[in-house]
Amino acid sequence: MIKRLLIANRGEIAVRIIRSCREMGIETVAVYSTADAGSLHVRLADKAVCIGPPPAAKSYLVPENIIMAALRQGCEAIHPGVGFLSENACFARLVNKSGLRFIGPDPCLIELLGDKVAARAEALRFGLPVTPGTEEAVGDEQAAKEAVKALGLPVIIKAAAGGGGKGMRIVRSMEELSVNLRLCIREAEANFADNRVFIERYVEKPRHVELQILSDGRGKVAILGERDCTVQQNHQKLIEESPSPAINDSIRAKMAAGASKMFSELKYSGAGTIEFLVESEGFYFMEVNARIQVEHPVSEMLTGVDIVRQQTLACTENRLELEGGRMPVRGHAIECRINALSPGKITRLETPGGPGVRFDSFLYHSADVPPYYDSMVAKLIVHAENRNAALARMDRTLSELVIDGVKTNQQKQRRTIAHPVFRSGGFDTSFYETYMDD
């Protein structure tokens, strides 16, 4: 067992990692920007090191500063958390080259799976269906036109190295193709330093479903059920739940079989998710996230597994404290992301409690919410015996939560939970724009 680990992240996920490490007997080192000097993860860690000024490009995104802090503090490993450098293959290589262990898969796998064109090819190799699309990147207008003629309209242009909705545009007519192709190429270059794009048939009104994977790097793969992440705004997830109300056991089994084969044969190590688009005709592989996900507590509530603990063991000792295959799940879990709509100082914080309630956050009374980083300030997760009971529990906990000092999306989340279409389970990725865009 390693003795000391540095967390190359901030906020809620850093707090989450610290708590698991403390239970494992692992000391933690936090890194922080000057804007986060008073943050909760800095207070909870055994040691803390300032790595730069507020802009992430000068602090949390500077690999050399993070690795130097880890070496000077006598760390044996670095956990990247989510976002920032968590799926940066160059950073992972630098970590390994410095003699530290990277809590994540092999850098070559991060690179392979982070390339959406290459990942599609891998999915096909392991028998997973993919959305009809181009097998290679599309570099010019003529190739794009030929692809669209073969696929039919509408299509979606995607950055090969993309994520978070950047470098992605829907095309519904040939007249729109040229300008959207140029815009996607430009956005891909600006956001990912990689101007490659590819084209897929656009799936109208799909569900977004992902499997939570844990793998030991030696071929053992455990699947902790699926999560339905369909409720989104601008491609950003807002509510996640499990089990998905949209899929049956036959689809679950097919997804799990393909995912298990893929992660096992690739010798994937640690936590990851494999994401699918689901429509009436079936399901399609979308991408792999080679890291832990923000919404991992949903799977933890359903299975009782500490995903951070298992991820750390897999990446440092090549072992899991779990049997392989599909893990048993019980009940229903839902997570609402609480996003700050403005920066500020927390003047009042009252958190909900009771059976089956979990509140993950970096907030405390008088905590600062800086304007420089991701807007998510908390996650509210509930678990109950079935979906209706979980919805009732989420409504109750949202009504109890009080966050003063910053504006949040809390009330909008409550309206979402109460909406009859959401409660019916018969919604798709257009739900927010159709029913909640006020």
Residue ranges of domains in the chain: 4-103, 132-201, 207-436
Judged by DSSP in three states, 172 sits in coil
* DSSP per position, 2-63: -SEEEE---HHHHHHHHHHHHHHT-EEEEEEEGGGTT-HHHHHSSEEEEEESSSGGGTTT-H
* DSSP per position, 227-292: EEEEEEETTEEEEEEES-TT--HHHHHHHHHHHHHHHHHTT-EEEEEEEEEEETTEEEEEEEE-S-
pTM for this prediction: 0.94
Look up the CATH number of domain 132-201. Answer: 3.30.1490.20
Neighbours of 263 (CB within 10 A): 27
The catalytically annotated residue of 291, 309, 358, 387 is 291
Q: What's the confidence (pLDDT) of residue 438?
A: 56
Q: What's the confidence (pLDDT) of residue 48?
A: 98
Look up the CATH number of domain 207-436. Answer: 3.30.470.20
Counts for the chain of helices (H) and strands (E), in that order: 15, 21
- Give yes or no: 291 in active site: yes
CB distance 348 to 404 below 8 Å? yes
Per-residue pLDDT of the chain (438 residues; tens, 9 = 90+): 999 999 999 999 999 999 999 999 999 999 999 999 999 999 999 999 999 999 999 999 999 999 999 999 999 999 999 999 999 999 999 999 999 999 999 999 999 999 999 999 999 999 999 999 999 999 899 999 999 999 999 999 999 987 777 889 999 999 999 999 999 999 999 888 899 999 999 998 899 999 999 999 999 999 999 999 999 998 899 999 999 999 999 999 999 999 999 999 999 999 999 999 999 878 999 999 999 999 999 999 999 999 999 999 999 999 999 999 999 999 999 999 999 999 999 999 999 999 999 999 999 999 999 999 999 999 999 999 999 999 999 999 999 999 999 999 999 999 999 999 999 999 999 999 899 865
Sign of torsion, CA 203 241 346 48? negative
| Count of alpha carbons within 13 angstroms of residue 42, beta-carbon side | 17
Classify domain 4-103 at the CATH class level: alpha beta
Among 82, 87, 60, residue whose Cα is nearest residue 14: 82
> How many residues are recorded in the chain?
438
CB distance 298 to 333 below 8 Å? yes
